Amino acid sequence: MTLQRLHYDVIVVGSGMAGAAAANQAMKEGARVLVVSKDPLICSDTKISEGIITVRESGSEKDTVEELANNMQTGGSEIGDTSLSQIFAENSQDAHKWLSDNGLRSRTDPKTGKPIALGVPMGGHSLPRSVDHENGGLDHAQALLHALIAEGKIDTIEDAWFLDLYISNQKNKSICGGLLYHATKGTFISIVAPSVIIACGGLSTLYYPHTDTMRGNTGDSFALAARAGAQLVDMEHIQFIPFAIATPGSYQGLVIGEPVTTGILGVLKDKDGNEIANNLMTMTRAEASAIIAQAVAAGKGTENEGCYLDLTPNMIGQSGALFKRIYSEKFPTVLKTVKKALGPKAARIAEAWEVSPSAHYCMGGIRVTSSTEVLDSEQKVIEGLYAAGQALGGLHGSNRLGSTSLSEGAIFGQISGKRAAQHHRSSTSNEDIDQLEKKHYDFYSSKLGQQGDTAPIHVQRNLQSLAWTGIGPARDSASLNKVLSGLETVRVSNENSSIPTDHVWNQSFIDYVETRNLSLCAEVIASSALVRTKSTGAHVRLDEDSFPSDPMNYAVTSFYLDGKVFTAKLERALNQSDFKEAQSQLHNQKRDRHSQIARMPLEQQDPLLCDVYNSFLGDAP
């Protein structure tokens, strides 16, 4: 296979929200930018999302930077990086404006010109600040495509797998480019550049078919960074959306609801129809997912490892029509999916839905400075390497607040793009680049034509099954150690798998690369989860009672060295703000109020439910 060499100022790996924002900003700074995307441009999780984005002050004039930042810290069990949550809170409005400047059209208040938020706070928020869009993520995708191609100054390569980074150790660790496989041309391409931005998403394909994300989320961000010597953080915290289709298999993993959409009267039931949870509307995704995972672990789950989400109590009285409108107007794809998968009666919300958690987001990621510079295991900056979007770790701590991912991508994408474009250093010698290029090219090209007993995709399916049962929504020491011991077999099988000599669209080679990345991510998740012995946010330990008390005010970091994963604890300062206690009190009051409404007779209950659902819809009560 031929090897081509190209030169750029900035390489952006990924073309979703973060990648597009980074490339656009780097281009504005005058850099020669190349976007590398294994999927068609903008075909990322952003495009298939519900399109709901956090915009401070969009739902309340009382909203402040401090309150939003505090919500994020509290929601993340106070183990997140406060400098990152502060930056997020300060810049969510500017991020929305940037999207609007590129064509995003949100519903706006004619008096203030501000975007209009959903009438109730999404999970973890103390105030309404989540702005929805008529066409969901498609509206964002159109804006991002404009940002990438409107000026014709950003080069792109689609159907290209970024394989590894070139790291020079002349003085300090520094980036000088990387190697990619261009599937449509059947070539390897060596890109020489002083700056690389990793923005190629998460790892939810590790849990296939239990995921609602794009297939391309194969942990590339984290594996690329780890092999380059970067430090990862919070990797034990994987966000699962609790209410996804459990069966039939062709629809498994597709999300059909959030805690905030369950209504005041929605409940969870076990396999025998016994109620196991109510007041779902006030829960976070992590709390609701944990209930299902614990029920399954206790033998109370369905044969498809789920429970029943019963929303039918919400359908009584005049409020029932309003509740149905929430789905039809704010989440239109949900009922369409339910009808196709579960039938017309289920789509009328006339019977319970069998649901199970679906992998949605990785809270952890690459550890960075407040300027998105990537840190190595010695807390030193890897010069020229940046991370943004889901690739970036430390922002969310143990759990991500609803609607924050789109804002996050735009905010930190722009920051990374600016920093990468401004990065200057002495050039790496041609001899160094030749050696790095040869090292990586020889390794990957040697895989072509490799003889083996199994195809890489079969190895990947075994890995996914191992991950779901061992590092899925609920874990214990036995399951975590089983994953770590099983990964050795996975790695050996993958390295010795059968890969044909084809150059153009060699799917087995692609499967090998992605399985290699996923297996490294699985090891990091399991190793980090063993360190945190108590349940925290999205990390649920079924055996936590067997361990001594743990203050939990630390983040778990990890790094990859000489083929092994190492972990450490990073102390975090506890939140001393009065906001934390006030937020807790408000949350408890809301739960108590919902419980009171649920116990009322219909004639008293119905008008109160109408008020709640009208507020959600943005209608005057």
Count of domains in the chain? 2
3-class state of residue 111 by DSSP: coil
Q: Is residue 177 a contact partner of residue 239, using CB atoms and an 8 Å limit?
A: no
The answer to whether residue 191 sits within a structural domain is no
Return d(Cα 283, Cα 280) in angstroms, integer: 5
579 pLDDT band (50/70/90 cuts)?
low
Q: Is 599 exposed, middle or buried, given 0-12, 13-18 or 19+ CB atoms closer than 10 A? A: exposed
161 pLDDT band (50/70/90 cuts)?
very high
1 pLDDT band (50/70/90 cuts)?
low
Residue 620, pLDDT above cutoff 50: no
Give the pair of three-digit tokens for residue 46.
């952003």
> Is there a single domain that holds both residue 457 and residue 560?
yes
pLDDT in tens, 162-209: 999 999 986 689 999 999 999 999 999 999 999 999 999 999 999 999
pTM, full prediction: 0.95
Q: Is residue 456 a contact partner of residue 447, using CB atoms and an 8 Å limit?
A: no
- Report the pLDDT value the prediction gives residue 178, as an integer from 0 to 100: 98
Residue 374, pLDDT above cutoff 90: yes
Return d(Cα 414, Cα 386) in angstroms, integer: 11
Q: Is 227 exposed, middle or buried, given 0-12, 13-18 or 19+ CB atoms closer than 10 A? A: middle
426 pLDDT band (50/70/90 cuts)?
low
> Is there a single domain that holds both residue 464 and residue 355?
no
**For residue 520, what is the domain's CATH number?**
1.20.58.100
The answer to whether residue 105 sits within a structural domain is no
The answer to whether residue 442 sits within a structural domain is no
Structural domain span for residue 542: 448-571
The answer to whether residue 277 sits within a structural domain is yes
The answer to whether residue 469 sits within a structural domain is yes
The answer to whether residue 330 sits within a structural domain is yes
- Report the pLDDT value the prediction gives residue 524, as an integer from 0 to 100: 99
> Is there a single domain that holds both residue 452 and residue 564?
yes
621 pLDDT band (50/70/90 cuts)?
very low
Q: Please say which residue of 360, 392, 408 terminates a domain.
A: 360
Give the pair of three-digit tokens for residue 515.
């399985």
pLDDT in tens, 26-52: 999 999 999 999 999 999 999 999 999
Dihedral pair phi/psi, residue 352, rounded to 5° = -70, 155
- Report the pLDDT value the prediction gives residue 384, as an integer from 0 to 100: 97
Q: Please say which residue of 340, 360, 380 terminates a domain.
A: 360
> Looking at per-residue confidence, does 429 or 194 come out higher?
194
> Is there a single domain that holds both residue 567 and residue 452?
yes
Indicate the DSSP class of residue 274.
-
Q: Is residue 312 a contact partner of residue 264, using CB atoms and an 8 Å limit?
A: no
Q: Is 257 exposed, middle or buried, given 0-12, 13-18 or 19+ CB atoms closer than 10 A? A: buried
Residue 587, pLDDT above cutoff 80: no
**Chain-centre distance of CA 464, in angstroms?**
17
80 pLDDT band (50/70/90 cuts)?
very high
What mean pLDDT value characterizes the chain?
Answer: 95
Return d(Cα 411, Cα 1) in angstroms, integer: 39
- Report the pLDDT value the prediction gives residue 566, as an integer from 0 to 100: 98
Residue 270, pLDDT above cutoff 90: yes
The answer to whether residue 223 sits within a structural domain is no
- Report the pLDDT value the prediction gives residue 218, as an integer from 0 to 100: 99
- Report the pLDDT value the prediction gives residue 78, as an integer from 0 to 100: 93
124 pLDDT band (50/70/90 cuts)?
confident
How many CA atoms lie less than 13 Å away from 51 in the CB half-sphere?
24
Those residues whose C-beta lies under 8 Å from the C-beta of residue 266, and which sit 6 or more positions away, are 278, 280, 281, 309, 310, 311, 313, 314
The answer to whether residue 269 sits within a structural domain is yes
- Report the pLDDT value the prediction gives residue 430, as an integer from 0 to 100: 79
333 pLDDT band (50/70/90 cuts)?
confident
- Report the pLDDT value the prediction gives residue 573, as an integer from 0 to 100: 80
Catalytic residue among 285, 419, 491, 516: 285
Residue with the two structure tokens 């036995």: 478
pLDDT in tens, 484-529: 999 999 999 999 999 999 999 999 999 999 999 999 999 999 999 9
Q: Please say which residue of 360, 383, 411 terminates a domain.
A: 360
**For residue 335, what is the domain's CATH number?**
3.90.700.10
Active site residue 516: no
Residue 61, pLDDT above cutoff 80: yes
Residue 465, pLDDT above cutoff 70: yes
- Please enumerate, as own/partner, the contacts of 327-332 that have beta carbons within 8 Å and a separation of 24 or more: 327/261, 329/617, 330/118, 330/132, 330/261, 330/616, 330/617, 331/50, 331/257, 331/261
